[in-house]
Amino acid sequence: MISGFLITFLLLKEREKTGVISLRMFYVRRTLRILPAYVAFLVVLCALCYFTALQIPIGRWISLLTFTENYVETDWVPYRHIWSLCVEEQFYLIWPLMFCLVMGAVRSSEKLLLLLMIPVVLAPLCRVYGYLHPSSVVFYKNSFFNCCDSLAIGCLLAVLTGFHGATIEKAMRRRPLIPVVLGVLLIVLALVPVRLLIFGVFTVPFGITCNAIGVALLILASLIRPDLTCFRWLEWRPVAAVGVISYSLYLWQQLFCTSAQDYGLTSTPWFLSFPFWIVASFCAAVISYNFIEKPFISLKSRIQSKA
């Protein structure tokens, strides 16, 4: 959801500033932002396969290299979380091109909003089909088709705020707590039944949708009324610092919360045991950000300034 919002916001901002969208520069920026740390992660996986008992089948290597891991059966392995990155990468391939084709020379939001409503309507149907046909590869639970409404809702939020921000802000400033309360309720409504394994007739088709709408409402409220008490913690320096290293933290944490037996260890070292694996994950993320991500972020900024 957040990726959909950020990417669409940046596309709208670029179009407003320059009048056009450079797809070439978009993919250059995404490549420099995503691939360096991800390649480092894959190199470490290779090393773990060589020096430990960890085994990764060739088919899984192909899915990891082609960003199609979200169509493969997930199990508790050090790379199981990569499915969500794969969904994002597939989104990056599709949405910017569609954005440019739909917008063209038109500066209204109606076409974009109509386009984005398609995945919001179809994704719940895809999830129901995948639930009824669990052997389906195309509609496997983590497939792009099953998750695209979450990204589309983020895009919708960016389009609505970009074109109708003043109207939305005026309406929300009168009763700013309504979207906050509604957002929390939608997230709880989506997550609690899923954790309790109940009410599947609702959570299967609409759980992801409700969660995405809830998060979107909270983001919208935080943008319009960042002074509200419930959002002030977002300005704390420790929280901001975690946000800076969040991508590296996402990549590396799974290596440390995986069972020691997967590496062929008979005893669990401190950095693989809870809660110490959290400390190890943060250390790895800080190193990854400063020595891998940061240099390429600087390169991305230099390339963008020259474009």
C-alpha 94/C-alpha 101 separation (Å) is 11
What is the model's pLDDT at position 66? 97
Maximum alpha-carbon separation in the chain: 63
0.75 surpassed by pTM: yes
Structure tokens at 203: 């959570």
Residues in the chain with pLDDT values less than 70: 104-107, 306-307
Residue 154 lies in a domain: yes
Residue 49 lies in a domain: yes
Residue 252 lies in a domain: yes
Residue 15 lies in a domain: yes
Residue 249 lies in a domain: yes
Q: Are 154 and 2 in contact (CB under 8 A)?
A: yes
Tally of domains in the chain: 1
HEC letters along 266-296: CCCCHHHCCCHHHHHHHHHHHHHHHHHHHHH
Residue 130 lies in a domain: yes
What is the model's pLDDT at position 307? 62
Q: DSSP label at 198?
A: -
Residue 107 lies in a domain: yes
Neighbours of 73 (CB within 10 A): 11
Q: Which domain holds residue 271?
A: 2-174+236-306
Residue 160 lies in a domain: yes
What is the model's pLDDT at position 107? 64
